Amino acid sequence: MKKHVDYIIVGDGYAGLFFAHQLILNKKTFVLYSESKKSASHFSAGIINPVVLKRFSAFWLADEQIDSLKTTMDQISVYLPKNYFVEDAIHRIFHDEKERDIWQRKIISNNLEAYLSEEFDALQIVENPFETGVVLNSGRIDVQNFFTDFLRYLKIQNYLIEEKFDFAKIEVMDNVYKDFTYKNIVFCEGIAVKSNPYFSKIPIIPNKGHFIKVQLSEAIPENVIIKKKHFLYHLEDNMYYYGGTYDPEGTGNQIDDAARQQLIDGLKEFYPYEFQILEINFGYRPTMEDRRPVLGSHFRVKNLHILNGLGARGILNGNYFSNHLYNHIEFGQELLPDVDLNRFT
């Protein structure tokens, strides 16, 4: 006798877990397949940044996405041990006076009063001769505990299946997968979607990103996220996260020397003391040329769906659009044209 579930989710990154949250919230039955491999989500910095710091403009739907994430984190804290949103603000170190002036001008010209501080700040320990601007309404997710606790919860509730999902075993005519009958399957596989026979044509561009965990000889303030080239923030004891690089040309399964050097040089630019690298690793961001996520249902097999292309904003996009996809599947709600899978057909 097969077990019936409303949903099968494939993938245990931000896309998979935020979609699982929608199902928990709405009391749907489901199982989530995880091949227990660390991926982009598990290695991410976890930064919540409403501003594109290269151009000083607001991120797409920033207000809605931040509000939605805070609501989700409150909801998650009802069934997981804590709220994983850490309200430490991003302090952007200015490269020069010109950049500081641009920041000030953009507050007015781009209506960024809610996101860019009008006052500047000087941080101790790190070099910031032109001071820092504070990104208001920024923060981060406690990535490691979020994934550890969420996956443990799924396991205890018997929602988690720790094996690789095998496309060859889907019987689409009968809605059967191995020991399950299902209503819907949602693929949240990140760059592994390239091997998914139903969605392999979606033009996902893998973008390799490295990070380091470092021990600093002089502690920096604990409740700030420092941004210069990459993000630096405190993890625990005297261990800090610094990353991640953007290596669009990066391929393969090895640590790249150029990325390692970029991280060392980047950190040395503003941290003048000794540091020791404790760990270096990488993941692949699933990015899209148009910088928009991709979600929707397969054109022929209508109960196979996808949530992917989260890019550099896996947390905001993953949370916000898992709700859109859920409402699309359950209630036929139209997807925003910018993110709709149909833009490729």
Ligand X SMILES: Cc1cc2nc3c(=O)[nH]c(=O)nc-3n(C[C@H](O)[C@H](O)[C@H](O)COP(=O)(O)OP(=O)(O)OC[C@H]3O[C@@H](n4cnc5c(N)ncnc54)[C@H](O)[C@@H]3O)c2cc1C
Chain residues that interact with ligand X, rule: CB under 6 A: 10-16, 33-35, 37, 39-41, 43-47, 164-165, 188-190, 192, 209, 211, 243-244, 283, 285-286, 308, 310-316, 318
CB-CB contact of 181 with 2 (8 Å): yes
**Pick 44 or 72: Cβ nearer ligand X:** 44
The pair of structure tokens assigned to 301 is 């097999």
**Pick 133 or 318: Cβ nearer ligand X:** 318
- Could you tell me the smallest distance in angstroms from the CB atom of residue 286 to ligand X? 5
**Pick 160 or 216: Cβ nearer ligand X:** 160
**Pick 93 or 306: Cβ nearer ligand X:** 306
The CA angle 164-175-177, to the nearest 5 degrees, is 25
- Could you tell me the smallest distance in angstroms from the CB atom of residue 309 to ligand X? 8
Q: How far from 281 is each of 127, 189, 211, CA to CA, in Å?
A: 26, 19, 6
- Could you tell me the smallest distance in angstroms from the CB atom of residue 152 to ligand X? 16
Q: How far is CA 334 from the centre of its chain?
A: 24
- Could you tell me the smallest distance in angstroms from the CB atom of residue 311 to ligand X? 6
In this structure, what DSSP letter does residue 287 have?
A: E
- Could you tell me the smallest distance in angstroms from the CB atom of residue 210 to ligand X? 6
- Could you tell me the smallest distance in angstroms from the CB atom of residue 316 to ligand X? 6
Cα torsion 320, 111, 55, 233: sign: negative
The pair of structure tokens assigned to 309 is 């292309």
Residue 277 neighbours by CB distance under 10 Å: 14
- The residues with which 3 forms a beta bridge, in sequence order, are 180
- Could you tell me the smallest distance in angstroms from the CB atom of residue 278 to ligand X? 16
Cα–Cα nearest to 192, from 291, 293, 297, 306: 306
- Could you tell me the smallest distance in angstroms from the CB atom of residue 108 to ligand X? 28
CB-CB contact of 150 with 17 (8 Å): yes
**Pick 308 or 323: Cβ nearer ligand X:** 308
- Could you tell me the smallest distance in angstroms from the CB atom of residue 180 to ligand X? 14
**Pick 107 or 214: Cβ nearer ligand X:** 214
**Pick 82 or 164: Cβ nearer ligand X:** 164
| Cα–Cα dist 311/330, whole Å | 26
CB-CB contact of 73 with 18 (8 Å): no
| Cα–Cα dist 52/55, whole Å | 6
Strand 160-161 versus strand 30-33 pairing type: parallel
| Cα–Cα dist 209/246, whole Å | 5
The pair of structure tokens assigned to 31 is 């199982």
**Pick 16 or 296: Cβ nearer ligand X:** 16
**Pick 33 or 56: Cβ nearer ligand X:** 33
Cα–Cα nearest to 160, from 168, 148, 172: 148
